[in-house]
């Protein structure tokens, strides 16, 4: 029985689990309600006994109970507050609001009233209380809403109606106010407030008397109003007007002072002014909220008196000024240096050459370098042959500060005599800077200092007065954006004058930031504003868009990582300049400029110049995007305009050509028929490059060579004229690399070396130079007999190649003061230069004769010295090691040096026959230490230097020679001398060799020996 009952009970529970759970929940809910109501009554009792703080605390505890926290309003007002938790929460909020109002905490009372009305919006008294508190807070819109909702709950609630009339009059909503006055007079035709305010409204707006007449007649109201005493009228109106005054006082904005420039104008130059405007804009757009309005006036009164302001800037730095040169139109000069120091000598390339980029961060300026030239030559003559023949090893390089080294002078000493002469006309592309420095030094002497000082003073004063005039004209302004726009409009008028360094970047930065806040440029076709404003805005946009395109073209040249397998594509520009290229407004602004170029009367005499610049801009931009056909069309338009203008202005017996110079651009800074013709030819070559790419991919390498070889300057033509054409070809690097790679695939190493040397002399982009060097090294390494160097077409080409390699090495070594990555990170120039010198030593003149001729020192005559080819590699290791660069390119230089030393050491049959065995072994051990960290730092020899390089992985091919070199001469025995035993470092090295992968490729005999 008991057992059966137990089973039945268990079964019953299992059969009805939901019922049991519901019962448990209902009990829990009832307990929660009981607890909540008990706490509520306790709070009420405390409130009745005026214990307000204790009562408020109890109410807050009640709100934290589970019943009230889980009580959520359904949103349907028809359901009401059926849930006990909602009823308690509603009452609690009302009581808390009442307590807060009693202690004059009006803000808190308003918060609790609003919480309560969110639970139940059908209580007219609650709406009235909200409206009453809102009046005390002078929140009249909220009071209006509360009284209107109260009347919606109960249209006969007179306090809401009475207060609503006062609020509506205060808010000047006279039409609605008259409506509710009409409702009030229907209930009480003697309602004095309604009568007084109605007449006051009619007095202020007489038209409303006629408009509201039908409404009052419909309500069956007396036509003649009952009289109201003057004192009562005054009291009623004063109440409403007092509310209006309070609201106006709250809405009145505090008078804030005008903004100041975030960066004061220290120098009265256009660049300084632009930097100040840009700094102010960045401050206003990035400062902590609340941020000032960009339309708030900028106070410029402190710059009103020029002389007084400049007194405080008397000891400021030298200033750069706009200087119209009588020859070109404009260099910029500093105050403390001769006028000619900033005169631009136009090079064959834009300012992106390897050496010019290096010099910008180098150790000395061009002027300092030219001044120190004679001194360096004297030092070289004094040191004489000792400097030429001493070993390149320097002890304790880590303990002393690295001296400034002229690598050109240092490396030329290693060249054989017949490779040292370089025809000035054949100088490489990396020598421009020295030529410019020399020209500046020579040309600066004939000019008189009095003449230069006079011209400089005039130019400085002119720019100072122009900037001051701009500031005076903009004392009254509409904020930073308007100042930026006016600045751009003024500076664009000076675009045909050479600007100071850095000013184009400042102007472009201002334009790009200003353009983000402007919806569009003025339409030149609609003429919806003054013609002068349209003309200035069009010229401003044209100048800034030319600067922007110039930056894109320079960036394209800098970052053009071309290869034979990556030909040009129409979408290549988008990848280089980001996904947003060409920006949000560039294409639309270009269209507006095209419209403006058709409005000849808008620009009058300057129309031709403007129109040609617009189509010149469009043509180059389309070419950058790969739209060659449209670019050709725009070039044709430029040609027609210039030819037509030349025909109209031609003078008999004279050749007058129209030339537009844009001196602030780095690329395509001259617009003329000749320049257009060059660009057209370059476009044709670019179009043919696609066909070349197809031939290359199809494997027709001979056709690629036949098409590209004639484009190289292989004959005696002027290199300058050839380079002017070559540099204008946007995809020239790809052409050169296609030619080189095709010759390598044809295994025509002699012609590959010849063409690569000419291409290296022509090309200056770092990425292309590195790849050309790879091809030259491949040609030399693949040709084991060195016939490529022997059959080179002309000795001047070999001389030029040697000096270009030295220039590249010098550029990469002096680019940075810090020991970081070099500008040209490849070590191939050292390796190729070694191959050339070694070829000369082996095939041109005997090694011993060359040493005896150059040494001429009786004290060192009996001491055999390293040949120049080995000294070059030793020097490379020394100076690269000082900057921790010797293991760059996965240790390519040191691995090559090891192979050279291995060949040199194995050339002798006995141990003591080699004349400089000790130096070779020292260099070899230094290479092993840098490459693989052997031996360890603790046990290394004292003559090994610490270069702090990243070690490379040891592979089997390199481990073979390393094992042969370090293994003991005889197999060590138990009682062998210490010098013949295997050291701990050697044992670790052997264990490391045993773990090298690809064990199946080990030689069987060597594996057994190991």
pLDDT tens for 478-529 read 999 999 999 999 999 999 999 999 999 999 999 999 999 999 999 999 998 9
d(CA 853, CA 267): 61
Q: Of 109 and 850, which is predicted with more confidence?
A: 109
SS3 259: strand
The total of other beta-carbon atoms located within 10 Å of residue 120's CB is 19
Q: Can you give the pLDDT at residue 389?
A: 41
In Å, the largest CA–CA distance within the chain is 140
pLDDT at 947 over 50: yes
Q: Of 795 and 754, which is predicted with more confidence?
A: 754
* Average pLDDT score over residue span 858-883: 76
SS3 422: coil
CB 160 within 8 A of CB 147: yes
Q: Can you give the pLDDT at residue 845?
A: 56
Q: Of 270 and 972, which is predicted with more confidence?
A: 270
Pair of tokens at residue 973? 């025995």
pLDDT-wise least confident of 370-374, 420-424, 480-484, 594-598: 370-374
Percent of the chain with pLDDT over 90: 24
- Element of type H or E holding 322: strand 320-322
Cis peptide before 935 (omega within 30 of 0): yes
Closest alpha carbon to 748 in 775, 721, 779: 779
Give residue for tokens 């800074």.
Answer: 669
d(CA 696, CA 565): 9
Read off the pLDDT of residues 972-1002 as tens digits, 9 standing for 90 and up.
Answer: 676 666 556 677 777 777 777 777 775 445 5
* Average pLDDT score over residue span 599-607: 92
Q: Can you give the pLDDT at residue 135?
A: 92
- Dihedral, CA atoms, 244, 247, 248, 253, nearest 10 degrees? 180
Going from the C-alpha of 947 to that of each of 404, 885, 939, the distances in angstroms are: 18, 8, 16
Q: Can you give the pLDDT at residue 440?
A: 37
pLDDT at 324 over 80: no
d(CA 638, CA 767): 34
Q: Can you give the pLDDT at residue 583?
A: 87
pLDDT at 124 over 60: yes
Read off the pLDDT of residues 532-587 as tens digits, 9 standing for 90 and up.
Answer: 999 999 999 999 999 999 999 888 765 544 445 444 444 455 556 767 788 899 99
d(CA 561, CA 771): 9
Q: Can you give the pLDDT at residue 408?
A: 79
Q: Can you give the pLDDT at residue 798?
A: 82
Most confident listed range (356-365, 667-676, 698-707, 809-818): 667-676
Q: Can you give the pLDDT at residue 47?
A: 80
Most confident listed range (433-442, 616-625, 818-827, 984-993): 616-625
Read off the pLDDT of residues 717-741 as tens digits, 9 standing for 90 and up.
Answer: 444 444 444 444 556 777 888 888 8
Mean pLDDT of the chain: 75
The model's pTM: 0.52
Closest alpha carbon to 561 in 767, 765, 731: 767
Closest alpha carbon to 525 in 605, 613, 598, 588: 598
Is residue 588 very low, low, confident or very high in pLDDT (cuts 50, 70, 90)? very high
Most confident listed range (121-130, 643-652, 748-757, 834-843): 121-130
pLDDT-wise least confident of 77-91, 173-187, 313-327: 313-327
Q: Can you give the pLDDT at residue 731?
A: 66
Helical H segments across 49-173, by residue range: 52-63, 66-70, 84-102, 106-119, 124-136, 140-153, 158-170
pLDDT at 698 over 60: yes
pLDDT-wise least confident of 25-34, 693-702, 953-962: 25-34
CB 805 within 8 A of CB 766: no
Q: Can you give the pLDDT at residue 355?
A: 29
Percent of the chain with pLDDT over 70: 69
Pair of tokens at residue 1010? 């190991």
Cis peptide before 290 (omega within 30 of 0): yes
* Average pLDDT score over residue span 776-780: 81
pLDDT-wise least confident of 120-124, 159-163, 250-254, 754-758: 250-254
Q: Can you give the pLDDT at residue 650?
A: 58
Q: Of 966 and 652, which is predicted with more confidence?
A: 966
Read off the pLDDT of residues 877-924 as tens digits, 9 standing for 90 and up.
Answer: 888 888 888 888 888 888 888 888 888 887 765 555 667 788 888 888
pLDDT at 382 over 70: no
Pair of tokens at residue 75? 């949103």
In SS3 terms, 722-774 reads as HHHHHCCCCCHHHHHHHHHHHHHHCCCHHHHHHHHHHHHHHCCCHHHHHHHHH
Read off the pLDDT of residues 188-207 as tens digits, 9 standing for 90 and up.
Answer: 888 889 889 988 999 999 89
Q: Can you give the pLDDT at residue 533?
A: 95
Q: Of 719 and 279, which is predicted with more confidence?
A: 279
For 741, counting Cβ atoms within 10 Å of its Cβ (0-12 exposed, 13-18 middle, 19+ buried), the class is buried
Q: Can you give the pLDDT at residue 827?
A: 84
Q: Can you give the pLDDT at residue 706?
A: 84
Read off the pLDDT of residues 611-637 as tens digits, 9 standing for 90 and up.
Answer: 999 999 999 999 888 888 899 999 999
């Amino acid at each position: 029985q008991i057992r059966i009952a137990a089973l039945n009970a268990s079964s019953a529970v299992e059969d009805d689990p939901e019922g049991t759970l519901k019962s448990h929940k209902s009990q829990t809910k009832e307990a929660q309600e009981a607890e909540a109501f008990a706490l509520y009554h306790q709070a009420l009792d405390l409130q009745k006994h005026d214990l307000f703080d204790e009562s408020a605390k109890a109410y807050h505890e009640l709100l934290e109970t589970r019943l009230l926290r889980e009580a959520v309003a359904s949103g349907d007002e028809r359901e009401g507050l059926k849930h006990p938790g909602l009823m308690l929460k509603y009452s609690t909020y009302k009581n808390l609001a009442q307590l807060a109002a009693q202690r004059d905490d009006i803000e808190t009372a308003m918060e609790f009233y609003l919480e309560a009305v969110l639970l139940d919006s059908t209580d007219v008294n609650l709406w009235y209380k909200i409206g009453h508190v809102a009046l005390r807070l002078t929140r009249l819109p909220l009071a209006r809403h509360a009284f209107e909702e109260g009347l919606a709950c109960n249209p006969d609630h007179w306090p809401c109606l009475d207060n609503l009339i006062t609020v509506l009059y205060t808010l000047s909503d006279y039409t609605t106010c008259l409506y509710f006055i009409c409702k009030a007079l229907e209930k009480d035709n003697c309602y004095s407030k309604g009568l007084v305010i109605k007449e006051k409204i009619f007095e202020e707006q007489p038209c409303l008397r006629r408009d509201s007449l039908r409404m009052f007649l419909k309500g069956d109201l007396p036509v003649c109003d009952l009289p109201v005493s003057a004192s009562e009228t005054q009291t009623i109106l004063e109440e409403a007007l007092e509310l209006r005054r309070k609201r106006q006082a709250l809405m009145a904005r505090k008078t804030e002072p005008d903004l100041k420039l975030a960066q004061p104008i220290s120098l009265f130059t256009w660049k300084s002014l632009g930097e100040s405007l840009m700094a102010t804009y960045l401050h206003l757009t990035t400062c902590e909220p609340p941020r000032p309005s960009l339309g708030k006036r900028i106070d410029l009164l402190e710059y009103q008196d020029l002389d007084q302001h400049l007194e405080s800037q008397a000891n400021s730095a030298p200033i750069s000024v706009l200087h119209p040169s009588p020859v070109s139109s404009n260099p910029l000069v500093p105050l403390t240096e001769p006028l000619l120091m900033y005169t631009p000598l136009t090079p064959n390339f834009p300012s992106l050459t390897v050496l010019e980029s290096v010099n910008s961060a180098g150790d000395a300026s061009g002027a300092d370098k030219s001044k120190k030239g004679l001194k360096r030559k004297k030092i070289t003559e004094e040191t004489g042959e000792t400097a030429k023949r001493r070993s390149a090893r320097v002890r304790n390089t880590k303990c002393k500060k690295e001296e400034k080294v002229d690598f050109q002078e240092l490396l030329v000493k290693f060249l054989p005599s017949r490779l040292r002469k370089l025809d000035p006309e054949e100088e490489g592309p990396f020598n421009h800077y020295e030529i410019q420095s020399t020209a500046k030094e020579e040309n600066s002497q004939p000019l008189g200092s009095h003449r230069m000082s006079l011209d400089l003073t005039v130019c400085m004063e002119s720019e100072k007065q122009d900037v001051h005039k701009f500031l005076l004209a903009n004392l009254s302004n509409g904020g930073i954006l308007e100042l930026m726009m006016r600045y751009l409009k003024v500076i664009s008028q000076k675009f045909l004058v050479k600007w100071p360094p850095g000013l184009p970047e400042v102007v472009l930065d201002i334009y790009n930031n200003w353009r983000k806040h402007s919806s569009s440029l003025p339409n030149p076709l609609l003429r919806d504003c003054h013609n002068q404003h349209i003309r200035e805005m069009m010229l401003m946009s044209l100048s800034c868009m030319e600067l922007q395109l110039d930056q894109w073209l320079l960036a394209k040249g800098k970052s053009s990582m071309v290869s034979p397998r990556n030909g040009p594509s129409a979408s290549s520009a988008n990848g280089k300049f980001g996904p947003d290229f060409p920006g949000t407004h560039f294409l639309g602004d270009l269209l507006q400029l095209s419209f403006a170029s058709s409005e000849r009367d808008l620009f009058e005499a300057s129309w031709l110049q403007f129109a040609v610049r617009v189509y010149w801009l469009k043509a180059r931009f389309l070419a950058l995007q790969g739209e060659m056909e449209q670019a050709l069309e725009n070039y044709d338009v430029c040609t027609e305009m210039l030819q037509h203008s030349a025909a109209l202005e031609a003078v008999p017996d004279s050749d007058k050509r129209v030339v537009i110079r844009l001196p602030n651009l780095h690329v395509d800074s001259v617009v003329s028929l000749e320049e257009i013709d060059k660009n057209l030819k370059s476009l044709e070559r670019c179009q043919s490059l696609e066909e070349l790419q197809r031939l290359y991919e199809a494997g027709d390498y001979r056709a690629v060579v036949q098409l590209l070889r004639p484009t190289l300057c292989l004959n005696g033509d002027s290199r300058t004229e050839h380079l002017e054409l070559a540099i204008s070809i946007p995809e020239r690097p790809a052409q050169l690399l296609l030619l080189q790679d095709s010759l390598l695939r044809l295994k025509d190493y002699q012609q590959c070396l010849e063409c690569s040397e000419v291409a290296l002399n022509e090309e200056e982009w770092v990425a292309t130079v590195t790849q050309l060097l790879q091809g030259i090294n491949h040609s030399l390494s693949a040709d084991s007999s060195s016939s490529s160097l022997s059959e080179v077409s002309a000795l001047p080409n070999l001389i030029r190649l040697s000096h270009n390699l030295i220039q590249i090495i010098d550029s990469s070594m002096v680019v940075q003061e810090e020991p970081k990555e070099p500008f040209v990170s490849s070590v191939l120039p050292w390796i190729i230069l070694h191959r050339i010198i070694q070829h000369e030593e082996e095939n041109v003149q005997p090694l011993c004769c060359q040493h005896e001729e150059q040494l001429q020192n009786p004290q060192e005559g009996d001491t055999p010295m390293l040949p120049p080819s080995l000294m070059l590699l030793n020097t490379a290791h020394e100076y690269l090691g000082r900057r921790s660069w010797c293991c760059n390119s996965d240790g390519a230089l040191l691995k090559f040096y090891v192979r050279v030393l291995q060949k040199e050491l194995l050339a002798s049959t006995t141990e003591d026959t080699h004349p400089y065995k000790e130096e070779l072994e020292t260099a070899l051990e230094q290479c092993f230490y840098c490459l693989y960290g052997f031996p360890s730092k603790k046990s290394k020899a004292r003559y090994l230097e610490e270069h702090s390089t990243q070690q490379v992985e040891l592979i089997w091919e390199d481990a073979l020679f390393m094992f042969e070199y370090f293994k003991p001469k005889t197999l060590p025995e138990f009682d062998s001398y210490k010098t013949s035993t295997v050291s701990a470092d050697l044992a670790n090295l052997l264990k490391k060799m045993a773990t090298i992968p690809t064990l199946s490729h080990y030689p069987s005999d060597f594996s057994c020996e190991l």
